[in-house]
């Protein structure tokens, strides 16, 4: 064996990294239900059982894939980070689904850090940090996933775009003004709204609350 024998190996040898990369390709191309160990093994030209030598189970695989696409979103401000997460979840809806399915996972840690890390510099007192970042993170992930789910729904119904999906939701919201007067009142705003802009307005509302609490 040559002296670089160890370095070359089989060039297609399995690894966590290659498995997660292949999983992300499947998830992005065909959605969450397309990710099965059989499909993943086929794409990696191996057996389904081989994957278990590198990832413990499907949940860990999804967590690793989620960390890959939402970890370390850059941004100079809380709003910039929030919009970065919004875009990442819009591009990878399955990551939004996984983040909400497992609230305590490691990927959430990175989100807490990148959103909350800017609070001290804003002059927010330490006693408010925990509440502030909890509200921010829950809103950012929840609203981004809600938006991404609308995109998935629009893709599922091949004949409609995202505006049509929102219109359909607005119709449903308007359907029962007696039981749901408030929802009926905001249905128009839903129909007219721009997802990303509205998302940013929500972040601003929370920031206003944080600063208002801080002054007390």
Partner DNA sequence: ACCTGAACACCGTTCAAGT
Helices 78-91 and 129-156: angle between axes, nearest 10 degrees: 30
Instruction: State yes or no: residue 141 binds a copy of itself (CB under 8 A).
Output: yes
Please give the structure tokens belonging to residue 166: 């929102």
CB of 137 to a copy of itself, least distance (A): 8
CB of 7 to a copy of itself, least distance (A): 30
How many Å apart are CA 92 and CA 152, to the nearest integer? 10
The helix/strand/coil state of 179 is coil
50 versus 211: smaller Cβ distance to a copy of itself: 211
CB of 46 to a copy of itself, least distance (A): 29
Binding site for DNA (CB under 7 A): 13-14, 35-39, 45-50, 52-54, 57-59
Q: CB under 8 Å to 98, separation ≥6 — which residues? A: 62, 63, 65, 66, 105, 107
17 versus 36: smaller Cβ distance to DNA: 36
The item of a copy of itself, DNA, none sharing an interface with residue 155, based on CB under 5 to 8 Å by kind, is none
Instruction: State yes or no: residue 183 binds a copy of itself (CB under 8 A).
Output: yes
The item of DNA, a copy of itself, none sharing an interface with residue 74, based on CB under 5 to 8 Å by kind, is none
The contact pattern for a copy of itself, residues 60-99, with x = CB under 8 A and - = no contact, is -------------------------------------x--
CB of 210 to DNA, least distance (A): 40
How many Å apart are CA 120 and CA 95, to the nearest integer? 28
- Phi, psi (5° rounding) for residue 206? -65, -45
Return the C-alpha torsion angle 175, 142, 62, 24, nearest 10: 80
155 versus 190: smaller Cβ distance to a copy of itself: 190
Closest among 187, 186, 157, 160 to 171, alpha carbons compared: 187
Beta carbons of 70 and 88 less than 8 angstroms apart: yes
Work out the angle at residue 70's Cα, subtended by the Cα atoms of residues 64 and 74, and round it to the nearest 5 degrees: 135
8 versus 138: smaller Cβ distance to DNA: 8
Count of residues that bind a copy of itself according to CB under 8 A:
60
CB of 55 to DNA, least distance (A): 8
49 versus 104: smaller Cβ distance to DNA: 49
């Amino acid at each position: 064996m040559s002296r670089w024998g160890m370095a070359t190996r089989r060039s297609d040898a399995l690894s966590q990294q290659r498995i997660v990369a292949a999983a992300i390709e499947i998830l992005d191309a065909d959605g969450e239900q397309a990710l099965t160990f059989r499909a993943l093994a086929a794409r990696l030209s191996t057996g389904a059982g081989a994957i278990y030598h590198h990832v413990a189970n499907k949940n860990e695989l999804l967590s690793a894939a989620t960390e890959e696409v939402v970890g370390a979103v850059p941004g100079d401000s809380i709003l910039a980070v929030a919009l970065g997460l919004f875009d990442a979840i819009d591009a990878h809806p399955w990551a939004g689904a996984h983040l909400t399915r497992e609230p305590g996972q490691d990927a959430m840690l990175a989100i807490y850090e990148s959103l909350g890390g800017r609070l001290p510099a804003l002059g927010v007192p330490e006693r408010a940090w925990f509440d502030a970042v909890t509200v921010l993170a829950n809103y950012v992930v929840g609203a981004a996933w809600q938006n991404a789910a609308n995109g998935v729904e629009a893709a599922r119904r091949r004949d409609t775009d995202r505006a049509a999906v929102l219109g359909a939701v607005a119709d449903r919201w308007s359907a029962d003004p007696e039981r749901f007067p408030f929802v009926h009142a905001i249905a128009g705003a839903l129909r007219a709204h721009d997802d990303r802009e509205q998302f940013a307005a929500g972040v601003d509302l929370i920031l206003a609350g944080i600063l208002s609490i801080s002054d007390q």
